Amino acid sequence: METILVTGGAGFIGNCFCKLLLKERPEWKVVNVDSLTYAANPNTIKEELNNPNYKFYKTDIRDREAIYKIFEEEKPNIVVNFAAESHVDRSILDPESFLTTNIIGTEVLMDACRKYGIERYHQVSTDEVYGDLPLDRPDLFFHEDTPLHTSSPYSTSKASADLLVLAYFRTYGLPVTISRCSNNYGPYQFPEKLIPLMIYKANHDQKLPVYGEGINIRDWLYVEDHCRGILAVLEKGRVGEVYNLGGHNERNNLYIVKRILSELNKPESLIEHVADRHGHDQRYAIDPAKANKELGWDPITTFEVGIKKTIEWYLSDKGSAWLDECMKQNQEWLVKNYKNRK
């Protein structure tokens, strides 16, 4: 029986990963370590808490003593680190927690792995570590050996963590893997990110704030496909390797926002162009050929299906109650981030 310690399992992607494991690897024990920051709504993990194969610790990954205790108690043989400060705009206004959680937190977890011994440490990373690609070069993609060249404090903290993970492989022989994924969308994403925020606003006939011209491109991947990719890396990936995960699903922000408005039968006059993000990355585009060839991984949810499923969930009784709670939790941030953009 595997015991897998998942950090950040009350967040958007970490929770989806725990759900996937409980369903598809029912013989595994899943231990979720999450400090429940503003980005975690406790209702996200309500169902999992009833599962006998699931255990939850409300713990900060920077708390070395507490993390070591959990390792002593649970003896995980696999660790997957999702826990992070994850929002670029917040990192621009207040970088410090990004550096401590995303870098020091990673160090603490890997030190625990060295001390207690594990079979695999997996770092969940992002395509943002590669910086951005120009809009007029659609022929260019991020490959695993594309140089790290970051723009925001968020992406810099993630790239720093990636380098630290590779250093622990080379220096201490820690059995690590890294996956770098493009933008995710799906249920339970905190409404500070583009898609859930725009669904909420469109549904409430509020203005939809598009940064700059809205021509920046992201490569969108349905969250479950990302989680299947991570599982494939754990089971088939080679130690010491990086795997890019993405679905060749490039769309610009205006396309996404217009698509949400049209699905909700709302007018495009709700779109409001606001001041751009500082250092705004232009285009992200992943080449997932290595994951495809070595792991047999391919996304299975098309954008057409995924966006409909996502909107349906946020409009459902369960999804809209969850979204309302998060929006209440997020008011202070919305004022802080958007007040000077008009």
Q: Which of 128, 132, 192, 250 is catalytic?
A: 128
Choose one: 145-153, 182-190, 246-254, 267-275; the region binding ligand NAD (CB under 6 A).
Answer: 182-190
Residue 119 contacts residue 78 (beta carbons within 8 Å) = yes
What span, in angstroms and rounded, lies between the C-alpha atoms of 5 and 2? 10
The entry of ligand TYD, ligand NAD, none that residue 5 binds, CB within 5 to 8 Å by partner kind = none
The answer to whether residue 333 forms part of the interface with ligand TYD (CB under 6 A) is no
Check if 263 is active-site. no
Q: Which residue is nearest to ligand NAD (CB)?
A: 11
Residue 102 identity: N
Residue 210 Cβ, how far from ligand TYD at the closest point, in Å? 5
User: Which residues, at least 6 apart from 223, have a Cβ–Cβ distance to it below 8 Å?
Assistant: 12, 13, 16, 184, 185, 186, 187, 189
What span, in angstroms and rounded, lies between the C-alpha atoms of 71 and 60? 14
What span, in angstroms and rounded, lies between the C-alpha atoms of 128 and 130? 5
Residue 87 contacts residue 193 (beta carbons within 8 Å) = yes
**Beta-strand relationship, 242-245 and 176-181:** parallel
Residue 157 Cβ, how far from ligand NAD at the closest point, in Å? 9
Q: Of 338, 244, 330, which is closest to residue 287 (Cα–Cα)?
A: 244
- Considering beta carbons, is residue 268 or 298 the nearer one to ligand NAD? 298
The entry of ligand TYD, ligand NAD, none that residue 181 binds, CB within 5 to 8 Å by partner kind = ligand NAD
- Considering beta carbons, is residue 101 or 261 the nearer one to ligand NAD? 101
Check if 89 is active-site. no
- Considering beta carbons, is residue 59 or 244 the nearer one to ligand TYD? 244
**Beta-strand relationship, 250-252 and 208-211:** unpaired
Which residues in 178-217 contact ligand TYD (CB under 6 A)? 183, 193-194, 197, 209-211, 216
What span, in angstroms and rounded, lies between the C-alpha atoms of 55 and 192? 28
Which residues in 64-93 contact ligand TYD (CB under 6 A)? 88
E strand or H helix that includes residue 24: helix 12-24
- Interaction mask 130-159, ligand NAD, x per CB under 6 A: ----------------------------x-
Check if 128 is active-site. yes
Residue 233 Cβ, how far from ligand TYD at the closest point, in Å? 21
Residue 237 identity: G
Residue 327 Cβ, how far from ligand TYD at the closest point, in Å? 13
Residue 148 identity: L
- Considering beta carbons, is residue 46 or 336 the nearer one to ligand TYD? 336
Residue 176 identity: V
What span, in angstroms and rounded, lies between the C-alpha atoms of 201 and 195? 10
Active-site residue numbers?
127-128, 154
Interaction site with ligand NAD (CB under 6 A): 7-8, 10-14, 34-37, 39-40, 60-62, 82-86, 101, 105, 124, 126, 158, 181, 183-184, 190
Interaction site with ligand TYD (CB under 6 A): 88, 183, 193-194, 197, 209-211, 216, 218, 253, 277
